[in-house]
Each structure stands twice: as structure tokens, then as C-alpha cells.
Amino acid sequence: MLHLKQKSRPLLYLLVIFILLILGFNLCFAQEETGEAELAGEFFGIPVSLGNYYFAKRVVITFGAGWRGSPRDAEELEDLVWQELLFSYEAYRRGIEVTDEEKEAEIDKIMQAEKVGFTWKEDKREYEKWVEDKIKGPIELFENQIEHLLRIEKLRQQVLGSIEPEVTKKEAYQKFLDEYNSLGVELIQFEDSQLKEAEKLYRQARSRPEVWEEKKQGNPEAFKNLTGPYALDFLINLWGFQREDAYKMLKMKAGKFYKPSPIYKGYAVFKVVATKKADEKDFKGREEQYLEKIKNMKKYQGFKDWAEGLKEQANIKIFIKPDVEQTESEENDNSE
């Protein structure tokens, strides 16, 4: 289900409403020749109007959607806006439509999630007030936004449905082991340029463990406590541990030190604190579950690859200059 983000941005929205009232609410990709000054950009050689650009930008700012996440900065916002526009065009090109019933069902879900005290189909005045409060715009804009998002979700499901990856029992078993083997460590982090310092600490700590405690106290910002123990899957995918290193540490005794190795940023020297090994017999009852999990992971990676390929083919050209200061202000408002 789609969800609304918490805050509105009045100045941007007034501008958007003004443009959309002139140009119309629906995203459309006409072939007409227009002056570059009136365009936000183009892809596939097709002009993208300012109206379409501001519509997509407002959708990204207002609505959260699982397929794209929330932008962390102005650059990511612009990337997501152009992705939104491109996906909308691709859905249009494929003839993907949204029925009134589908749109109404989604609005029902949103209203239930928001716990409104009225029936939106019957109490139009309350519905209008609620929409105005949430998006600072008219009902027609809100419902067009919902239709747009549902159309993109249909596109996403269509692409995912076309991807049939091969999955092996070996891959499923490895995922099971990653999730059920656990490791607890302390680590001290070093920049890429500090590898020699990391190697020095490793040598010293092996012969004199008190050096480790001194380093922890002397540089607390570089020290990380991951004593959990945490699943190797978490350490590998979130902290950037190399799988080979994680499994070697899993075989070590508590209190032992492990050599400098890459993590998500730079290197780290590790002190093993705790280990917990998976019971390999448990995989038999979970084999189908993990085969499906690997299949879905490959599907979503396939979708990402498809999206990147679409962007390359589109040859996006951007004419409009993003208002970075305004974007940063909007993001700050949303974080309050």
C-alpha cells in the first residue's frame, strides 16, 4: 500500500498547482515540438514538460513507495524524479491502465491507514478538506497521483513477473547458513590509507591484548561494538564484512584477534567475542522457503538491472536546473 509522507511544502506546492492547473494533471508524453525553455528535459528523444516534471517531483516528495525509498539529498531526489517520469512513460508505452475500482480500493486503504472519521465517497466536503490538509492541493490532483503510482506498481509487477531466475539448492543453503550462523565482535575501524596502522595494531594486540583496550579508549569513534552476536547475513550485507572473513572468524575462539580486512568503509581489526553456529539439520525443513527467498532476491536484482538498462536506453537529457536550496529546505522540514 502507498503511504503519505508526513509534512507538506506550501511554497513548492502552490507553484506546482499553478503549473498543473494550466497544463493538466495527467502525465502525457506528446510528440509536439516545443521550445526548450518550456521543457524540463527529454528521454528517448521525447520532450518532458515542466508540468510532468513537477507532478513527478511532488509525488516523490509526498508519497513513500517501497520500490524507490526516500531521497537522502537533492541529487537523489532529482534521480528519483526522473526515474518516476521514465517509469510512467514506460507504463504508458506498454498500455498499462488503472481501473476506477483499483484506484478506489487504494484510496480506501489509505483512508483506513489514516484512520479518518468519515466515508470519503459520501462526505465529499470532509474528503476535500482532508486532501487539502495532506497534499495542499485539490482532489483531482490527489486521485491522479494515486492512479500514477498504481500504474507504476503494475509496471513493476509486470517486469518482475517476466524474470524467471535459476535458483540452486547450494545458493539456498548458503543463505540459510548466513542467516543462522552468528558472530559477535569488537572492531576498530581504519581508513583505506591507514592499512599499515591496522596491521600494526593487529600484531601488537595478538602479543599484548591490553593494547586493544588502550586503542579503544584512545580512539572511541573508531571502535564499534557488534557483540550481539549478529547473523552473518547482517554483518555481510549491512556492515560489508567479506563472507570469507566472517566464516573464518566463526571458527575462532572468543578473545582471539582477526587480521585487518575490508568492511563497508576502509578496514577493521576484529576481536572475536562470541560465535554461534547453525544447526545444519534445520535446513531440511526450510529448503523451499530459502529457494523462494533466493528467487525473490534475484528477481528484485533483475528489476534493478532492468531499470538501469532503461535509463541508459532513454538517454535522459535534463534542461531544468534543480532548486537545491529549496529542496534542502523541504528535506529539513520533513525531518522535524
Separate counts of helices (H) and strands (E) for the chain: 13, 9
pLDDT for 11? 42
pLDDT for 62? 86
292 found inside a domain: no
Q: Which of 277, 293, 315 is the last residue of a domain?
A: 277
Query: Whole domain around residue 188: which residue ranges?
Result: 182-277
Q: Left if phi > 0, otherwise alpha if psi is -120 to 50, otherwise beta: which for 45?
A: left
Same domain, 123 and 8: yes
22 sits in which H/E element? helix 10-23
Same domain, 113 and 219: no
Same domain, 38 and 131: yes
Q: CA triplet 207, 208, 212: central angle to 5 degrees? A: 120
pLDDT for 64? 77
pLDDT for 21? 37
Whether 162 contacts 90, CB under 8 Å:
no
pLDDT for 79? 92
pTM of the predicted protein model:
0.76
Q: Mark the ranges of the chain whose per-residue pLDDT is less than 50.
A: 7-26, 28, 30-37, 324-336
168 found inside a domain: no
Whether 54 contacts 15, CB under 8 Å:
yes
The span from the CA of 307 to the CA of 159, in Å, is 10
Same domain, 50 and 98: yes
Beta-carbon count within 10 A of 121 CB: 11
Same domain, 210 and 259: yes
Domain count, the chain: 2
> Residue with C-alpha cell 508526513?
6
For 24, residues 6+ apart whose C-beta sits below 8 A from its C-beta are 51
287 found inside a domain: no
For 119, residues 6+ apart whose C-beta sits below 8 A from its C-beta are none
324 found inside a domain: yes
CATH number, position 250: 3.10.50
Same domain, 11 and 159: yes
177 found inside a domain: no
Q: pLDDT tens digit string along 89-116?
A: 999 999 999 999 999 999 999 999 999 9
CATH number, position 105: 1.10.4030
31 found inside a domain: yes
Q: What is the dihedral sign for C-alpha 131, 135, 139, 143? A: negative
